[in-house]
Amino acid sequence: MNTSERIRGSLLLMIALLLFPASALAQTREEPRIVIDRGQIEPLPIAVPAFSGETVEEARYGQDIASVISANLERSGLFAPADPRSFIEREIEFGSPPQFGSWRLIRVDALVNGRVTTLSDGRLRVEFFLWDVYGEASMRGLQLDLETPQSWRRVAHLISDAVYERLTGEQGYFDTRIVFIAESGPATQRVKRLAIMDQDGANPRMLTPGDFLVLTPRFSPTQQEIVFMSYFNNTPRVYLFNIESGDQEVVGDFPGMTFAPRFSPDGDQIIMSLIEGRDSHIYTMDLRTGARQRLTSGPDINTAPSYAPDGRFITFESDRGGSQQIYVMNRDGSNAHRISFGEGRYGTPVWSPRGDLIAFTKIYNGRFYIGVMRPDGSGERLLTESFLDEGPTWSPNGRVLMFTRQTPGYGNTRDSTRIWSVDLTGYNERPILTPGDASDPAWSPPIPTR
Amino acid sequence: MRLSAVFSALFHVAIVVLAMTTFANRSQFSLEAPENIPVELLTVADITNVSAAIEEAEELEPPEEEVIAEPEPEPEPQQMAALPDPVLELPEPEAEYLPSEDEPQPVEPEPDPEPTPPPPPSVRPVVRPQPPERAEEFDFAQAAALIDLAPQEEEPEFNLDDLQIGEETEVQTAERSRAAVGLGTGLTISEKDALKAAIEDCWNPPVGARDAEDLVVELRVHFNSDGTVRDVDIMDFLSYSSDNFYRAAAESARRAVHQCENRARFDGSYRQGYDLPADEYDSWRSVILEFNPRNFLGGG
């Protein structure tokens, strides 16, 4: 009796559920439906007027912060900051909505409006609002207090990140650093020092003195640490370097030459190559226990390992098939399979931090290319081409690549080696300003905010 | 136990039966769907219909009663469209559909050949659509015509009435015939294309986002009758509030709708709002826009 009622009830419910989509269909069919499947790929027009300030000093910081934000957004290739001379509304009262119409007139989609004030304890406070000009609403607001005025540049990067994140949906990468190799001197006596700079090329500093060669620096994903290969004491070895303390230590006590190091995604392991006779093999070493594990075997050269962001797979290059190609294997070394099948040779694979792509260097017909492919080898796309492009490194959001580009000299001019960046879409290729020749860039994860 | 087994069996049978019946419904639905596609084409006939209405109206001018008689039968078959306008004519345009493209032309020549005093005012209103503002303009014209007529003829009041009745009926028939087709059919393919092109011109989707080509956004855009945008709803609010990539994509779509609302036309004139047929407002009062970047981002 009770059960039959229940059954009847559930039957009715089922009928209702089964009929529902039909009725919903009938309703939606009344509205015309239009598919928009084409669009423009253009940078988003944005306005970043100077942040306001009461005092001369505040106004100066306000001006500088706005111009760093503007430059960051412009450099990303995704934004087109409007010329401040075109602004109609010159003074926006902070916190109250701007005159959206006047910003629409100059065809701006978004507006960053901020101010700099001095707190009672003398510290600077920077605040901003991001306005949606067409939606006439505030999209983001943030307030940052500076420990010291010198960190104004970092504040500008943090605001750039916030604006970028809100408008693109992607994590920002402006508050990051690049470690690289600063090169100087003639080709026969090349001095290569470890150096670091902000992502926009500002604040370059040398980290090592230059009396020994340094190569292939890589950032730790979790610590302010760098792993690199150095000819310290004339033996090529992999070293760890702490950015904050300047301490340097060798990684593992391997008998032979170790090179091509990289951190595991959790930062607890180093994966690298070790030369054994005429071959090289890939090893991991646990930084806490010192335990090491060999992942490859056979009479081949296996090198340039890079972990997938989830740590389950490793991509590397190997000549086991007769030519230099890219392979993927499980983290324990099993199931190694080739993924690069295009013409030419492939090397230096680097797994994207967002996991969807592997960047590589390709050599074909004497030209060098930076490209990306999916981890299964499909969808290969070449982003750059030149006399010599190599060694890609990903921005932490997996959106931008930096790499080394060597340009041959003509007549009296020497070869030049510079760091370049390119967007994942293949657009927006541009050089990064460095004090001199620079190579081997490695992008840091976002700098932790305290 | 047995009881539950029996019930379980019954349930399964019920599910199968219901699935079959809904399948049957499905097929009915899919049968209906193709009917809708020719309906879009029908709107082209709307022009035909209007011109037909004009012709009828002119012919009918002398006998007013007949004009009135026309709209009367129309309301009967209203079942199809919820609105009171004549759906009666729906079958007719189908027949007239092919010649329709030629027919609109006669609309213009009509005023010329008619030398009699009443026609001039009657033609103008027919050409014009529903908007009430324009109706006022007609009144001015009518007033002017009346003033002219007043000194000339002895019985101005009679003329006044005649004229007004004549115009109203003509306008009404024109409006009704337009609406009759418009209501049932919605936007024509070319009108949809125009709207699509206008919005595509302003759509700047986020590129390079992970799986950006899969970020398909649906918006429901509510329009005012002048083609301006009243409101834009992002339909998948859950994704909007939880997924940053989706939010950025949805906002780029919404910006496109707002941004291209007011634009210069190719001929140099300026439009406020989208170019949409005012006499079919009911069919585009709200429109669903699907922003699908797969075609032009999927190339990678």
CATH assignment of the domain containing A216 = 2.120.10.30
Average pLDDT over residues A142-151: 88
According to the model, what pLDDT value does residue A449 have? Answer: 72
The pLDDT confidence band at residue A229, using thresholds 50, 70 and 90, is confident
Q: Which residue has the higher pLDDT, A103 or B272?
A: A103
According to the model, what pLDDT value does residue B298 have? Answer: 55
- How many Å apart are CA A93 and CA B32, to the nearest integer? 57
Asked whether residue A280 falls in the same domain as residue A374, the answer is yes
- How many Å apart are CA A29 and CA B180, to the nearest integer? 19
Asked whether residue A63 falls in the same domain as residue A206, the answer is no
Output the six-digit token pair for A61: 């910081």
The Cβ of residue A241 has, within 10 Å, a number of other Cβ atoms equal to: 22
> Which of A11, A36, A169 is closest, CB to CB, to B14?
A11
Domain termination site, one of A168, A188, A209: A168
Report chain A residues whose CB lies below 8 A from the CB of B29.
Answer: 22, 25-26
- How many Å apart are CA A272 and CA A286, to the nearest integer? 12
User: What is the three-state SS of B200-247?
Assistant: HCCCCCCCCCCCHHHCCEEEEEEECCCCCEEEEEECCHHHHHHCHHHH
Hey, what amino acid is at A408? Answer: P
Please name the residues in contact with A156: beta carbons below 8 A apart, sequence gap of 6 or more.
A64, A65, A66, A68, A69, A72
- How many Å apart are CA A445 and CA A378, to the nearest integer? 27
Q: Does A7 fall in a domain?
A: no
Domain termination site, one of A140, A168, A196: A168
Asked whether residue A380 falls in the same domain as residue A267, the answer is yes
Q: Does A27 fall in a domain?
A: no
Q: Does A37 fall in a domain?
A: no
Closest CA to A401 of A365, A344, A443, A438: A443
Hey, what amino acid is at A48? Answer: V
Output the six-digit token pair for B91: 């079958």
Contact assignment for B286 to A109 by CB distance below 8 Å = no
- How many Å apart are CA B208 and CA A424, to the nearest integer? 6
- How many Å apart are CA A41 and CA B293, to the nearest integer? 11
Please name the residues in contact with B24: beta carbons below 8 A apart, sequence gap of 6 or more.
none
Candidate CATH numbers 3.40.50.2300, 3.30.1150.10, 1.10.3720.10, 3.40.1190.20; the one for domain B189-297: 3.30.1150.10
Per mean pLDDT, which of A128-142, A278-292, A360-374, B209-223 is the most reliable? A360-374
Asked whether residue A144 falls in the same domain as residue A185, the answer is no
Asked whether residue A294 falls in the same domain as residue A223, the answer is yes
According to the model, what pLDDT value does residue A3 have? Answer: 60
Q: Answer yes or no: pTM beyond 0.90.
A: no
CA angle B158, B73, B187 (to 5 degrees): 100
- How many Å apart are CA B45 and CA B101, to the nearest integer? 8
Q: Does A32 fall in a domain?
A: no
The Cβ of residue A185 has, within 10 Å, a number of other Cβ atoms equal to: 12
Output the six-digit token pair for A183: 């090169």
Asked whether residue A214 falls in the same domain as residue A310, the answer is yes
Residue A278 pLDDT more than 50? yes
- How many Å apart are CA A92 and CA B78, to the nearest integer? 57
The pLDDT confidence band at residue B223, using thresholds 50, 70 and 90, is very high
Asked whether residue A347 falls in the same domain as residue A381, the answer is yes
Beta bridge partners of A195: A180, A206
Q: What percent of chain B has pLDDT over 70?
A: 41
According to the model, what pLDDT value does residue A212 have? Answer: 82
- How many Å apart are CA A135 and CA A111, to the nearest integer? 12
Asked whether residue A216 falls in the same domain as residue A234, the answer is yes
The domain containing residue A190 runs over which residues?
177-443
Could you give phi then psi for residue A172, rounded to 5 degrees?
-75, 165
User: Dmax over Cα atoms in chain A, in whole Å?
Assistant: 101
- How many Å apart are CA A63 and CA A52, to the nearest integer? 8
Output the six-digit token pair for B38: 């020719």
Long-range pairs, A213-218, Cβ under 8 A, ≥24: A214/A181, A215/A181, A215/A259, A215/A440, A216/A259, A216/A260, A216/A261, A216/A391, A216/A440, A217/A179, A217/A180, A217/A181, A217/A241, A217/A440, A217/A442, A218/A261, A218/A262, A218/A263, A218/A442
The pLDDT confidence band at residue A420, using thresholds 50, 70 and 90, is very high
Q: What percent of chain A has pLDDT over 70?
A: 93
- How many domains, chain A? 2
Distance between B46 CA and the closest CA of chain A, angstroms = 18
Domain limits, chain B: 1-30, 43-185, 189-297
- How many Å apart are CA A126 and CA A118, to the nearest integer? 9
- How many Å apart are CA A110 and CA B124, to the nearest integer? 47
Instruction: Please check whether residue A379 touches B, CB under 8 A.
Output: yes
The dihedral through the CA atoms of B68, B73, B78, B81 has a sign that is: negative
Asked whether residue A201 falls in the same domain as residue A334, the answer is yes
**Is the ipTM of this structure higher than 0.85?**
no
Beta-strand relationship, A269-276 and A258-263: antiparallel
Q: Does A16 fall in a domain?
A: no
Instruction: Please check whether residue A109 touches B, CB under 8 A.
Output: yes
Please name the residue of chain A whose CA is at the shortest distance from the CA of residue B291. Answer: A36
Q: Does A29 fall in a domain?
A: no
Q: Name the residue with tokens 């207090």.
A: A145
Please name the residue of chain B whose CA is at the shortest distance from the CA of residue A44. Answer: B204
Residue A384 pLDDT more than 80? yes
> Which of B202, B206, B288 is closest, CB to CB, to A169?
B206
Closest CA to A155 of A121, A187, A115, A209: A115
Asked whether residue A107 falls in the same domain as residue A249, the answer is no
- How many Å apart are CA A443 and CA B46, to the nearest integer? 63
Contact assignment for A7 to B7 by CB distance below 8 Å = yes
Residue A86 pLDDT more than 80? yes
According to the model, what pLDDT value does residue A287 have? Answer: 87
The Cβ of residue A234 has, within 10 Å, a number of other Cβ atoms equal to: 7
Contact assignment for A32 to B288 by CB distance below 8 Å = yes
Contact assignment for A168 to B202 by CB distance below 8 Å = no
Asked whether residue A150 falls in the same domain as residue A239, the answer is no
Please name the residues in contact with B268: beta carbons below 8 A apart, sequence gap of 6 or more.
none
pLDDT digits (tens, 9 = 90+) for B55-69: 333 444 444 444 444
Contact assignment for A170 to B246 by CB distance below 8 Å = no
- How many Å apart are CA A386 and CA B126, to the nearest integer? 68
Average pLDDT over residues A233-246: 83
Contact A227, A270 (CB under 8 A): yes
Instruction: Please check whether residue A5 touches B, CB under 8 A.
Output: no
Interface subset of A 11-30, CB within 8 angstroms of B: 11, 14-15, 18-19, 22, 25-26, 28-29
CATH number for the domain including A161? 3.40.50.10070
Distance between A55 CA and the closest CA of chain B, angstroms = 37
Q: Name the residue with tokens 């908007």.
A: B131
Domain termination site, one of A102, A136, A168: A168
Average pLDDT over residues B237-266: 86
- How many Å apart are CA A80 and CA A186, to the nearest integer? 40
Long-range pairs, B102-105, Cβ under 8 A, ≥24: B103/B47, B103/B48, B103/B51, B103/B52, B104/B47, B104/B48, B104/B50, B104/B51
Hey, what amino acid is at B228? Answer: T
Return the H-helix or E-strand segment holding A179. strand A177-184
Hey, what amino acid is at A265? Answer: P
- How many Å apart are CA A392 and CA A345, to the nearest integer? 15
Q: Does A98 fall in a domain?
A: yes
DSSP codes of every residue in B110-177:
TTTT--SSSHHHHHHHHHS-S-HHHHHHHHHHHHHHHHHHHHH-S-HHHHHHHHHHHHHHHHHHHHHH
**What average pLDDT is seen over chain B?**
62
Of B6-20, B135-149, B167-181, which gets the smallest average pLDDT?
Answer: B135-149
Under DSSP, the state recorded for A301 is: B
Interface subset of A 138-157, CB within 8 angstroms of B: none
Q: Name the residue with tokens 């990684």.
A: A251
Contact A398, A354 (CB under 8 A): yes
Burial B139-160 (b: 16+ CB within 10 A, else e): eeebeebbeebeeeeeeeeebb
Asked whether residue A113 falls in the same domain as residue A254, the answer is no
The Cβ of residue A291 has, within 10 Å, a number of other Cβ atoms equal to: 11
Residue B79 pLDDT more than 60? no
Separation of first and last alpha carbons in chain A: 66
